[in-house]
Amino acid sequence: MNNIIITLKRFLRNKNTVTILGVVLIIGILYWGYTKQINEATREISIPVAKREIQPRTQITKDDIETIKIPSIAISDNVERYSSQIVGKYTNYNTVVPRGSMFYKGVLVNKEDLPDSAFVNVKKGEVVYNFPVNMETSYGNSIFPENKIDIYMKAVDENKRIMVGKLLENVEVLAVKDSQGKNVFENTAENRTPAYLIFGVQEDIHILLRKASYMTSTYSVVLFPVPHGAYVDEEGETQVSTQYLKDFINSHTVVIEETDSGVTTNPDETGE
């Protein structure tokens, strides 16, 4: 017995032996930690995914969801992990959830938080204008959001002469909507017919467009969009292109303004 103890002490006092044991111990610890991490990363957990393609502005129901198992390493922190966090929410206005896709937190919103894309992108100080179009005047539904267009005007003056010219240029389209107010291009599963181009303009241009639209019966005014040229200054503002047309509109209309003493006409807009 004493011989065994003496032999063991000599074995442990050997520096090479201690080094080997230390290396083996470190390798063992590293292997255990690595194996644990691999097992954790490859551990399959249940996650809700889209059972079908879900279009923008759609309320999620339990019939839209199915559960699959995937390795936990494939799930990021911004993924909803429970169906209870998804059912009843709406897909955002600019989001299509493909079939089989996980549900990401930025994709889902409450109904009251669901924005309208046309108003999200309106610049400060601008007024939203809905410009009526159809399949023909929208060039077969070929005018898209973020496109730049020009607004042309046709009218008949007092001498029965037909006038045609560019009234506005460099107008950025914010949205294209159908007659029910739905965005034409946000739903890939439906064929929607364009009814309005939505864009934002400064108040003076907004008033000019309104006045022109009210001159349809008296001067046969027609406004129609034309796609802008290929080279557009993205920072450029909407401008009145033809002063003659602007003067023609203002000479046949007045603007009613409120003052402290009541309501009065603006002489600058009467053309007198």
Return the domain boundaries, the chain.
44-113, 117-269
- Cα–Cα distance for residue pair 14/9, rounded to 1 Å: 9
18 falls in which pLDDT band (50, 70, 90)?
A: low
93 falls in which pLDDT band (50, 70, 90)?
A: confident
Burial class (CB in 10 A: 0-12, 13-18, 19+), 272: exposed
Contact 167, 210 (CB under 8 A): no
The CATH number of domain 44-113, selected from 3.40.605.10, 3.20.20.10, 3.90.1210.10, 3.30.2310.20:
3.90.1210.10
The pLDDT value given to residue 187: 76
Over residues 212-223, the mean pLDDT reads 93
Length of the chain: 272
- CB count within 10 Å of CB 197 equals 26
157 falls in which pLDDT band (50, 70, 90)?
A: confident
| β-bridge mates for residue 149, sequence order | 171, 227
Q: Tell me 160's DSSP state.
A: S
Alpha helices per DSSP H over 55-177: 117-120
Closest C-alpha among 188, 199, 207, 190 to residue 255 = 207
Over residues 225-245, the mean pLDDT reads 69
Over residues 106-121, the mean pLDDT reads 79
- Note the pTM of the prediction, 2 decimals: 0.62
111 falls in which pLDDT band (50, 70, 90)?
A: confident
The pLDDT value given to residue 3: 64
The pLDDT value given to residue 249: 93
Over residues 101-126, the mean pLDDT reads 82
Contact 252, 216 (CB under 8 A): no
- Cα–Cα distance for residue pair 126/223, rounded to 1 Å: 20
- Cα–Cα distance for residue pair 126/240, rounded to 1 Å: 15
The pLDDT value given to residue 269: 45
The pLDDT value given to residue 189: 76
- Cα–Cα distance for residue pair 97/196, rounded to 1 Å: 26
- The values of phi and psi at residue 130, to 5°, are -105, 110
